[in-house]
């Protein structure tokens, strides 16, 4: 961990991920359910111990640890973004310029990504056959559920 912090300069979330993996592994090998402690005692003359504890691992203190420019948008920011995308469609139509359909497509794609939580690549590969009815939202008709392949 010292090498990752001082030399490689990994992000704090990376340390937590690595330490979490080590903690899970230690939980597995020291669990009495699997008899690893007895096996190690018999084979090596010693037993396994946990090395990741609350006092020596990175604590999760803030909601978003990423760089400030990569934080998730707030609801208010998302609403302004969607309003801006809708305004671009209306503005293009009002001025009689080309691109109204592309602006409408873009605004719709952003809303699909947000509404169904799809990633860029997943959204790119969506087709009409990927949408289905759902009993939870009958008012959406054929578009109540989305199957992401």
pLDDT interval class at 43 (50, 70, 90): very high
pLDDT interval class at 20 (50, 70, 90): confident
Last residue of a domain, one of 69, 87, 114: 69
Domain shared by 56 and 79, yes or no: no
What are the φ/ψ torsions at residue 59 (nearest 5 degrees)? -90, 145
The per-residue pLDDT for 11 is: 78
pLDDT in tens, 61-81: 566 666 777 778 889 999 999
> 111 and 130 in contact (C-beta within 8 Å)?
no
DSSP helix/strand/coil, 145:
strand
Structure-block tokens of residue 54? 């609350």
Last residue of a domain, one of 50, 69, 88: 69
Domain shared by 105 and 43, yes or no: no
Q: Please count the structural domains in the chain.
A: 2
CA gap 93, 106 in Å, rounded: 15
CA gap 48, 28 in Å, rounded: 11
Domain shared by 98 and 134, yes or no: yes
Segment holding 141, helix H or strand E: none
Q: Which domain covers residue 91, as residue numbers?
A: 73-146
pLDDT in tens, 77-123: 999 999 999 999 999 999 998 999 999 999 999 998 998 888 889 88
Domain shared by 60 and 102, yes or no: no
Domain shared by 50 and 82, yes or no: no
Rg (CA), the chain: 25
- Is residue 35 predicted with pLDDT exceeding 70? yes
Last residue of a domain, one of 38, 69, 100: 69
CA gap 77, 57 in Å, rounded: 34
């Amino acid at each position: 961990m010292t090498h990752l912090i001082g030399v490689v300069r990994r992000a704090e979330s990376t340390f937590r991920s690595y330490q979490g993996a080590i903690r899970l592994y230690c939980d597995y090998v020291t669990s009495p359910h699997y008899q690893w402690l007895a096996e190690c005692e018999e084979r090596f003359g010693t037993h396994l111990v946990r090395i990741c504890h609350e006092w020596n691992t990175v604590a999760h203190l803030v909601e978003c640890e990423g760089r400030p420019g990569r934080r998730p948008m707030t609801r208010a920011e998302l609403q302004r973004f969607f309003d801006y995308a809708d305004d671009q469609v209306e503005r293009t139509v009002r001025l009689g310029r080309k691109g109204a359909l592309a602006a409408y497509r873009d605004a719709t794609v952003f809303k699909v990504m947000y509404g169904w939580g799809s990633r860029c690549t997943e959204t790119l590969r969506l087709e009409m056959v990927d949408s289905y009815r759902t009993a939870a939202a009958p008012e959406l008709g054929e578009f109540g559920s989305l199957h992401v392949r």
